[in-house]
Amino acid sequence: MRRVGFVVTLLALVGLWGCGGGHGSVGNSLSLAIIPSNTTVAPGGIRGFQYVLSGSGTAQTGVVWSVKEAGGGTIDNTGLYTAPTTPGTYHVVVTSVANPSVSATATVTVGGSGPLLTVTQRQVVVAPGNTVSLASDVTVSNASNPTLLWNVTAPNLGTVDANGNYTAPSTPGDYYVTVSLQSDPSQTDYILVEVVGVTLSISPTSVTMKVNQTYGFGYNIQVIGSTNNKVTWSVTDQNGNPVSGDGTIDQNGNYTAPSTPGTYYVTVSSQVRPDIKATAKVTVTT
């Protein structure tokens, strides 16, 4: 997962839903804001924070996240805060790398009986241009009005409707959807959507072999939008659905035919996009 933030220049708003790196000069009027600036989290719960970095000449966009109090929980370099199990009031701080004197602080109340928004699945994967429902990835408790507000920061980052249905852009990459509780905007969080394009092929696409013989299949995969290029091998029917008793295959693509002649199938599928798969036909003879 990558760092979440915005950079606002004098002329344009640029959503940096990616690594907040880069080097360069920074203008004199640099400021940071943290989102949300005040929130409540369950003991041991997780809240995703975001930042807005603004000012002229904002070229160095890196930030550092920290928790002010010892024992006040932990936060990683993406802004994901894990609350302590002890109720209390704590503070999350985001600081500019370019100018450490520039920072923003959020007040976090751990515990309490107020409304609580929780993201249950932080990261989802979708194909370019496809739509995924995010509503089931969020729960709301202690709220008389559980209505959620969904938002993306710019049209080129995809679109999301009032029901949490996110339609991905055509360009693979990491995108962030913000969700907040209408009755309590301090209950704000985000979901990372990985838009991933995958092409996958198997080689050979057909082979003839003897009963109980072992044959090694190969594959070629290209992944855009994710670093996960791993695959899973399985024995399947011709539609790629797993079956048993039709031989075995290990995770290196080595298929061992059964003792019964017939037609069988081997499938390789992408781990990041299991819907992307390639299938080979195996004819087993005596």
Q: Which position has the higher pLDDT, 171 or 14? A: 171
Alpha helices by DSSP H, 137-225: none
Q: What does the pLDDT look like over 84-141, one tens digit per residue?
A: 999 999 999 999 998 899 999 999 999 988 999 999 999 999 999 999 999 999 999 9
* pLDDT higher than 60, residue 3: no
> What pLDDT shows up at residue 11?
26
Domains in the chain and their CATH numbers? 1-112 (2.60.40.1080), 113-195 (2.60.40.10), 198-285 (2.60.40.10)
143 by Cβ neighbours in 10 Å (0-12 / 13-18 / 19+) ranks as middle
pLDDT bin (cut points 50, 70, 90) of residue 58 is low
Nearest to 190 by CA among 202, 203, 176, 201: 176
Q: How confident is the model at residue 156 (pLDDT cuts 50, 70, 90)?
A: confident
The predicted pLDDT at position 176 comes to: 94
pLDDT of residue 148: 98
Q: Mean pLDDT throughout 232-237? A: 98
Reference 169, options 180, 179, 159, 178; nearest CA is 159
